Structure 1
Amino acid sequence: MPDTNETQELAISCFCGSCKHTFSVPKSSLPIPLHLCNCDISRRISGTLFTSYITVPADSGKPETTKCTQYHSSDILTRHFCSTCGTHMYLEYHHDGHFEAAAGTLQLDKTDGIVEYVDLMWVEDTKDGGASQFVGRVGDKELKRWAQGSGESKELPYDWKDPSATASSDNSPVRAHCHCNGVEFFVQRPSEKSKLARSGYADLIVPCMDPANEEKVKNKENEAWWLPNPERFLVGLCTCRSCRAALGFDVMSWAFIPKCDVTLDAEGKKPFIESPYWGKIKIYHSSEGVTRSFCGGCGAVVFWDGDEREGLIDVATALLDAPEGTRAESLLCWRTARVSFAEDAVNLGLLAGLETGMKAWAEKNEGRKCVSSGTLAGL
C-alpha cells in the first residue's frame, strides 16, 4: 500500500457514477503539468475548445472500462466515454497500453496545486488561434502556443492565424458535426424569426446564483439576449459543475441558438427535431428539466436543452465547422465580460487566466461584431 504521507490519492468519476477509478501519485510530482490540446480530434470528440488529460500510473491497475463506449479516434489511441452520461473518461495508448484520465473527472473541490496548465498545443488546427487567444497566462506562468505537439513543433505568436482562414462571402449556413460524423446539422444565419424564442437570461448575462438577480434573471420583457447583434448568436464559456461532470474537462463553450435556426440540411428545409433526435444522438437527463445530448459513436457533447426555455438551445461550439476558424466569428459573438458559473470552477488559476485573457482579447478586437459589447441587460 502506498505511503499516504508521500502520495496523493486521486479519484475520478463520470457524471452518473458508472465509471470510476482511484489512483495515487507521488506528492513530489505535484502539481502535475497539463497541456491544453486544441487539435481537431479533441474538439470534435468533446464539443469544447480544448481538452486536457492526466497520466494514470501503471501500478494503479487498469481502469474498469466495461461501462464505457470505446472510440478509435486514430491509430495512436482509443478513447473511452461513459455509455450512459457521455462523460469522456480515458485515453488508452496503443503503443504501450497506458491510460490518461480526462482532467475534469477529478473529484476535488479545487485542483490548483494538484494540476498545472503549462501550454497550449496543436493550435494550428484551429485556423484562427481558437481558445489560445483567450488564455495567455495561468498563475505566474505564460503559456506557450505550439503549432503541433508540445515542445516539439513551432511556437506560434498570440495573434497567429492561418492565411487561408477566411469567412464565407455569401453568409451560407455553417455545418456542425462530431468527429465520427454520427451527428451532423447546420446553423442558419440569424433572421427576424430568431427573435421569437423565449428564455430567461443565461448565467453568462445575469449571474443567476445571486439572490439579488432573482427577478432580473426572468427576463420578463423577453430581450433577445442570444442576438447581441442582428448577424450573430451569443457564445461564451461555462465552468459549472454539471457541464464539467458531463464533459470531462474544465471548461465548456456554448452558443445560444434558436431551434428554428438549427436544421438537418444546408437548405434549411429539414427542421430541428428532438422526439426523437437524429443520427447517433443519445440523451442524458442531468437534472430535472434538463436534457444533455451527446454522440453515441464518439462521445461529442452536442446540445444542452432546458424545459424553461422556449425554442432556444445551447449548441456545443467546437462542433461548428466555420471556414474562418474555431471561433466562428462570422456567426458568433463572444461574451467576454463573464465566465458562466465562475463560482463553480475547480481550477482558479485557469479561471483567472480565462477571465483576464478574454477581456484582453475583447480589447484587442474592440469594435468587431464578433465581440459582445457588454451592454446586454445593462451589464
Structure 2
Amino acid sequence: MGSTDVKTLTAQCYCKSVHFTITVPTTSLPLGVHLCHCHICRYTHGTLCIFHAPLPAGVFPQFISPSSLDTSLTGYVHTEGAAAERFFCSTCGCHVGDRDLSPNPETGEVGWRVATSIFSEHGEDVFQIRTHCFTTSAGGSGLYDWLPNMGDRKLQVFNPDPDTSAHFTIPRPPKPKQEFDQNGKERLRAECHCGGVSFTMPRPNNIPGVENDELTKGFTSPVDKTKWGGCVDLCDDCRLVDGTHVLGWTFVPRSQIQPPVSIDFKGFGTLKPYVSSKGTLRAFCGKCGATVFFSCDDRTPSDEKQVVDVAVGILRAPEGIAAENWITWRTGRLGWTDSGRRFDPVFTESLEKGLKERIANVNYNLSQFVWDREVLPITLPRRTVTRRRPATTVTGPPTTVTGPATTVTVTATITANTGEDPQVVAAREVAAAIRDHESPTKVD
C-alpha cells in the first residue's frame, strides 16, 4: 500500500507518557465516532459520555518509545465476563481506548476502540461523530439532548433491545437512591466505577453561612439556593487528562465532602493526584481511571477554605447523569470555547447551538449568561423582567448630581414560529426587551 493510500494519525495524553500512532487506509476515513452514555463508560471516565472510534481490521496503536502499553498504561476490566479491557495513563489518568479480551474468530485479531479526543487532529475528514449510544442508561437529560446534530447532520441514537445479544452482558446497577445525613438532610453520592473513590456532598442551602461566603456563593445556582452551578468545559487540558471532548463539572467546598478529603488529595481510597500545571491539582481513580477532582490556587484562599470541581460523570443522582435536581447548568456559555473551536470546530459550534436551543432553565440562562452581570428575576407567564438599576451619578464641574436607583419593568411580546421551543423564544424576546431599556435615558 503506497504512502498516499494511508494516513498516519498521532495521539498523546496530557503528560505525554502515552504516545502512539495509527496508520489508517484512506478508504476507511473518516472513522466513525460513537458517544457512549452507558453507566460503565461514565463511571470509569467521570464524564457525561465517551468518544470512541473502532479501528479497521489490521490497524492497531503503534506506541512510540519510551511509551508502551506495559509501562505507560493501567488496564481495567470492569467486571467478570467483560468483552474488553480499558486503558488509561498511569500518570495523568487520560483514557486512551479499549482492547478486546478475545480475538475476532474470523480474523484472529484483537480489536481496538480508541479515544479520538487525544489525537492531534479531529477534522470531519478524519473522525466523524455519528452516533449517541446507550442513552437510556444515563436517564433524564444529558449530552445526547444538548448535541442532537453535528453541523447539518442529525446524529443517530442507538439503544439496543434488552433481549438482543448486542445489549449489556452484565446486569445494570440499581437506580441510585437519595441519601441523607444523620439530620435528615439530603446528600449526593459521587462514586467511581470500582468504588475505590466514594463520597457525598450537601446542598448549598444546608451549609451554614453559605449566603455570606463570597467564594462559595459564586459557585451556587443564581436562581435556586438548593443547587450548585454546573458547567461544560472544552479546555485542552481537561480533554487530554480525560480523553473526551468535553467534561461536565460541578462544585463544592472541600470541607463539606464526607468522608473528608485532604487538600493534596492523598490517602483517600484509590484516589491519585496529578499536578497538571503550577497551582493546579487534579485527581483520578488509580484503579478504574475515573476523573474525580480539580482544584487550583485561585479557589484556595487557605487550607481550610477551598472550592473544588467534582466530575459530574461519577455523580449518582437518582434523576440521571445531568443531576438536574442538584445542578443548575450554565447553558448560555461553554467553558473554553476557543480551545474547543481549535480542536473540533463543528462539535463546539453544534454543542453551543444545541444548548441554547434546549434551555433547561430560562431564568439561569438570561440572568447569568445573556447579561453575565446581575441576576434578572424572570416571570415567564407574563414574560416580564424587573431589573434594579444602580444609582445614577453625573459628575461635572462644579457640581455632582446623584439620582435615585431605578426599577425598570419590561414586558416582552412573545412571537413563536411553528416548531420553536416557547422557552427559547421567551429567552430571546425578553433579552431583546431588556437591551431596548439598557440606556438610563430610556427609563420612565
- CA–CA separation in structure 2 for the residues paired with 1:39 and 1:336: 23
Q: Which residue identity lines up with residue 286 of structure 1 in the other structure? A: S
Secondary structure at the aligned position of 1:336 is classed as coil
Matched, 1:119 2:126: no
Of 314, 330, 342, the match for 1:335 = 330
- CA–CA separation in structure 1 for the residues paired with 2:156 and 2:178: 27
Q: Which residue identity lines up with residue 235 of structure 1 in the other structure? A: G
Aligned to 1:93: 100
Aligned to 1:73: 78
Task: Provide Cα deviations, 1:227-271, integer angstroms capped at 9, x if missing partner.
Answer: 32311111011111100010011111111222233222xxxxxx3
- CA–CA separation in structure 1 for the residues paired with 2:47 and 2:213: 25
- CA–CA separation in structure 1 for the residues paired with 2:320 and 2:194: 20
1:56 Cα offset (Å): 3.6
1:95 Cα offset (Å): 2.8
Secondary structure at the aligned position of 1:5 is classed as helix
- CA–CA separation in structure 1 for the residues paired with 2:151 and 2:282: 33
Secondary structure at the aligned position of 1:52 is classed as strand
Q: Which residue identity lines up with residue 179 of structure 1 in the other structure? A: H
- CA–CA separation in structure 2 for the residues paired with 1:224 and 1:354: 25
Of 269, 273, 276, the match for 2:262 = 273
- CA–CA separation in structure 2 for the residues paired with 1:327 and 1:62: 33
Q: Quick one: structure 1 residues 338 and 95, their matched pair in 2 at CA, closer, same or farther if it must change by over 3 Å? A: same
Of structures 1 and 2, the one with the larger relative CO (CA 8 A, separation 6+) is: 1
1:133 Cα offset (Å): 1.0
Q: How many residues align?
A: 336
Of 146, 153, 156, the match for 1:141 = 153
- CA–CA separation in structure 1 for the residues paired with 2:157 and 2:56: 27
TM-score (norm 1): 0.81
Secondary structure at the aligned position of 1:351 is classed as helix
Gaps of 5+ in 1: 155-163, 200-221, 265-270
Of 79, 82, 86, the match for 2:89 = 82
Secondary structure at the aligned position of 1:344 is classed as helix
Pairwise mapping of residues 37-48 of structure 1 onto structure 2 (< 5 A)? 37-48=36-47
Secondary structure at the aligned position of 2:244 is classed as coil
1:378 Cα offset (Å): 4.4
- CA–CA separation in structure 2 for the residues paired with 1:279 and 1:165: 21
- CA–CA separation in structure 2 for the residues paired with 1:98 and 1:14: 21
- CA–CA separation in structure 2 for the residues paired with 1:197 and 1:107: 42
What is the root-mean-square deviation in Å for CA atoms of aligned residues? 2.8
- CA–CA separation in structure 2 for the residues paired with 1:320 and 1:360: 25
Of 294, 319, 326, the match for 2:321 = 326
Q: Which residue identity lines up with residue 220 of structure 2 in the other structure? A: W
Q: Which residue identity lines up with residue 355 of structure 2 in the other structure? A: M
Q: Quick one: structure 1 residues 195 and 315, their matched pair in 2 at CA, closer, same or farther if it must change by over 3 Å? A: farther
Q: Quick one: structure 1 residues 223 and 230, their matched pair in 2 at CA, closer, same or farther if it must change by over 3 Å? A: closer
Task: Provide Cα deviations, 1:333-363, integer angstroms capped at 9, x if missing partner.
Answer: 000111100110111111112111111111x
1:29 Cα offset (Å): 2.4
Q: Which runs of 4+ in 1 moved over 6 A?
A: 164-170, 369-372
Q: Which residue identity lines up with residue 257 of structure 2 in the other structure? A: V
Task: Provide Cα deviations, 1:141-186, integer angstroms capped at 9, x if missing partner.
Answer: 111223348xx899xxxxxxxxx99978976111110000010010
Aligned to 1:21: 20
- CA–CA separation in structure 1 for the residues paired with 2:251 and 2:156: 31
Secondary structure at the aligned position of 1:179 is classed as coil
- CA–CA separation in structure 2 for the residues paired with 1:166 and 1:12: 39
Contact 2:7–2:25 (8 Å) recurs in 1: yes
Contact 1:55–1:99 (8 Å) recurs in 2: yes
Aligned to 1:132: 144
Task: Provide Cα deviations, 1:112-134, integer angstroms capped at 9, x if missing partner.
Answer: 32111112110111111422111
Aligned to 1:284: 274
Matched, 1:245 2:249: no
Instruction: Answer with 178-187 or 137-146: which moved more.
Output: 137-146
Contact 1:329–1:370 (8 Å) recurs in 2: no
Contact 2:210–2:217 (8 Å) recurs in 1: no
Q: Quick one: structure 1 residues 309 and 196, their matched pair in 2 at CA, closer, same or farther if it must change by over 3 Å? A: farther
- CA–CA separation in structure 2 for the residues paired with 1:35 and 1:256: 28
- CA–CA separation in structure 2 for the residues paired with 1:165 and 1:302: 18
Q: Which residue identity lines up with residue 49 of structure 2 in the other structure? A: F
Pairwise mapping of residues 1-379 of structure 1 onto structure 2 (< 5 A)? 2-57=1-56, 59-61=58-60, 63=62, 64-66=68-70, 67-74=72-79, 75-96=82-103, 97-108=110-121, 110-148=122-160, 172-191=186-205, 192-195=208-211, 224-228=218-222, 229-264=224-259, 271-275=260-264, 276-310=266-300, 311-345=306-340, 346-362=343-359, 365-366=361-362, 374=369, 375-378=371-374
Aligned to 2:392: none
- CA–CA separation in structure 2 for the residues paired with 1:299 and 1:69: 8
- CA–CA separation in structure 1 for the residues paired with 2:158 and 2:307: 37
Identity across matched positions, percent = 28
Aligned to 1:208: none
1:376 Cα offset (Å): 4.3
Secondary structure at the aligned position of 2:92 is classed as coil
Contact 2:204–2:220 (8 Å) recurs in 1: no
Q: Which has the larger radius of gyration?
A: 2
Secondary structure at the aligned position of 1:294 is classed as strand
- CA–CA separation in structure 2 for the residues paired with 1:372 and 1:65: 48
